[in-house]
Copies of this chain bind each other. A is one copy, B any other.
Amino acid sequence: MDFIKNPAQIENRSMEIIAPYLDGLNLNFEETKIYSRIIHAAGDVDYTPLIKIHPSAIDAAKSAILRGANIFTDVEMVRTGINKRTLSKFGGEVFCKVADDDTKKFATENNITRSMAAMRIFGEKLNGAIVAVGNAPTALFEVLRLVRAENISPAVIIGVPVGFVGAADSKSELAEQNKIPYITVTGTKGGSSIAVAAVNAILYLLDNSRN
Name A's B-contacting residues (CB within 8 A). Answer: 1, 3-7, 10, 13-14, 17-18, 40-44, 46, 76-77, 79-81, 111-114, 116, 137-138, 141, 145, 162-167, 169-170, 187-193, 196
Bound complex: CA A167 to CA B43 (Å): 9
Q: Is there contact, CB below 8 Å, between B4 and A192?
A: no
Apart from A5-B113, A10-B163, A10-B166, what 5 extra A-B contacts exist at CB < 8 Å? A1-B145, A13-B164, A40-B162, A42-B162, A43-B167
Complex contact A40–B5 (CB within 8 A): no
CB nearest to A188 among chain B residues: B43
* A145: chain B residues within 8 A (beta carbon): 1
The quantity of this chain's copies bound in the complex is 2
A7 nearest CB neighbor, chain B only: B113
How would you classify the secondary structure of chain A's contact residues: helix, strand, loop or mixed? helix
Q: How far is the CA of A43 from the CA of B4 in the complex (A)?
A: 30
| Docked-complex contact A18 and B164, CB < 8 angstroms | yes
B192 touching A14 by the CB < 8 A rule?
no
Question: Distance in Å from the Cβ of A196 to the closest Cβ of chain B?
Answer: 7
Contacts of A7 on B, CB cut-off 8 Å? Answer: 113-114
23 A-B contact pairs sorted by A residue (CB < 8 Å): A1-B145, A3-B170, A6-B111, A7-B114, A10-B113, A10-B163, A17-B164, A17-B165, A18-B164, A41-B162, A41-B163, A42-B162, A42-B189, A43-B162, A43-B187, A43-B189, A44-B188, A77-B192, A77-B193, A77-B196, A80-B80, A81-B192, A193-B193
Alpha-carbon separation in the docked complex, A148 to B200 (Å): 36
Assuming the contacts A77-B193, A193-B192, A196-B77, asked whether A163 and B40 have C-beta atoms less than 8 A apart, the reply is: yes
Q: How close is A129's CB to chain B, nearest CB, in angstroms?
A: 21
